[in-house]
Amino acid sequence: NTINFLFFVCYRALIFPLLIREGKPTPFFTFVLALLFCVFNGYLQGRSLTTYAAYPAGWLGDLRFIAGFLGWLFGMAINIHSDHILRNLRKPGETGYKIPRGGMFEYVSGANFFGEILEWFGFALACCTIESLAFAVCTLFILGSRARQHHE
C-alpha cells in the first residue's frame, strides 16, 4: 500500500510535470497550497500505514486488498492514459478548446478525474484505514466538482 502511494506521488510530482507542454503558469499561492496539502496528506497516509494500521497474516491475499489494488491499478492506468490524451489535444502553437476523444473520454468527460478518484477509492479499500477513506472522499468532492465544471 505504501508503495502504491509512493508510486502515485512520484508520478504526479516528478514525471507528470516534465511531460506537460507549455501552458498557463501556476500561481505561486496555488503551488504552495498544493504542496502543503500533499505534504500533510503524505504524512497522514504514511503515518497511518506504518504506525496505526494492523493487518492480519495473509492480508495481501484478502479479497478487499486484491479488489482495492486492482481498483488502484486500473485507476492509475486510466489517469495516465487520460493525461496523455489531454497533453496531445493541440498541436504546438494551436489554441482554442478541443474535446478529448479516446480511452475513457468516450464514456466520461473528465476521464483523468475519474481515474484518480478510482485510484484513491481502490487505495482506501486496499488499506482499510479511516485516513485513506477520508482522502478518497475528499478527492471525490474536489475532483468531482472540477469534472463537473469541465463538463459544463
Nearest-angstrom CA–CA distance, 149 and 152: 5
> 2-28 pLDDT, tens per residue?
666 666 666 766 666 666 666 667 788
**Cell digits of residue 78:** 486510466
**pLDDT given at position 17:** 65
If pLDDT is split at 50, 70 and 90, which confidence band does 55 have? very high
**Considering the entire predicted model, what is its pTM?**
0.79
Residue 95 — φ and ψ, nearest 5°? -130, 175
Cell of residue 114, nine digits: 475519474
H helix intervals, 13-129: 16-19, 28-47, 63-87, 111-127
